[in-house]
Structure 1
């Protein structure tokens, strides 16, 4: 982790800020759909799209430059409440747990929510310090095509069976004491970065 000063997006104690990380390679309408659902159901003040420098669980040797992915994400993110940032590269964080530790220290009083698709939930137990993430940060799971029926069998759901809030109480999530998670259903997009890369010339 870097010792250099890092400029963070605007924030203040009491704000409810969603954190949505990914390679955004490329960004697509599905990302924007997640944002709309998160704002509506969780009552967020802001949503930070964390464009990652890489993914420890994927081969990122052919990953486009961070700056180009940030620029592409900003073209998709039309809502002024969305902030697209590459702060993980500035921080020197390779893992989500490192990012969350940094933000908790730098942003006291901010109510962060980690947001991820249900497809990531199925392999969440492979993330570095995933149990720490669950114990320190509320998590919102966004339903994805093909993942609905498998969600209950995810190790994270089994490890923290009492953490799940009723979907009707989703607005309570940002201020809930972790471990706390909610599974959100809503309009779904079949778009995926992987499929878009395969179609690219």
Structure 2
């Protein structure tokens, strides 16, 4: 089984998250996608909304039978992506995990704790994001792992390939952000 992992604060979840999740299921041929709703982002000072609110919103936004909205990071007590991946790989040894992220995260991926371990241990699927495409392509992680980049036409192979391997997909983009939704202040309504 291949499971895509989309981590984030989802503060709040929105159609952009749902869109890349549907694209990941289709373009990478994943069996499932798990949204890993983070208790908090170590790279952000701001505290997110309560976990229960973010999970409830995620379930409303992403009603799909092959998508699970999960608080597993809180239950595992992990704080960093590499740590979460290590625990998941130990708990589910027969599962092929694929880390999913937007191009905005690839642009600053080298700031993540143990980012190189992530690249060497799980396939990574990256999605274009409004305003981040060029920055991501010149990112340190993209440059250091350039020879391991899978052509987008071969994206269906990603879950079955041995890391390091990653793919960058230019998909139709949804220009919406959690920051803009929070600024409006109406997302819990």
1 CA distance for matches of 2:11 and 2:65? 21
- The answer for the alignment partner of 1:158 in structure 2 is 143
- The answer for the alignment partner of 1:17 in structure 2 is 3
Write out aligned runs for 1:126-165 (5 A). 126-165=111-150
Query: How many residues of Structure 1 are paired with residues of Structure 2 in the alignment?
Result: 186
1:85 aligns with 2:70: yes
Aligned with residue 101 of structure 2, among 105, 116, 136: 116
1:100 aligns with 2:102: no
- Following superposition, the deviation at residue 185 of structure 1 comes to 1.1
- The answer for the alignment partner of 1:125 in structure 2 is 110
- The answer for the alignment partner of 1:34 in structure 2 is 20
2 CA distance for matches of 1:103 and 1:189? 30
1:175 aligns with 2:160: yes
TM-score by length of 1: 0.90
- Following superposition, the deviation at residue 60 of structure 1 comes to 2.9
2 CA distance for matches of 1:191 and 1:185? 16
Residue deviations 1:119-169 (CA, integer Å, cap 9, x gap): 111000000000000000100001101112222210001111211000000
1:188 aligns with 2:173: yes
1 CA distance for matches of 2:80 and 2:107? 17
2 CA distance for matches of 1:157 and 1:112? 20
CA RMSD of aligned residues (A): 0.9
Q: Where has structure 1 moved over 6 Å in runs of 4 or more?
A: none
TM-score by length of 2: 0.96
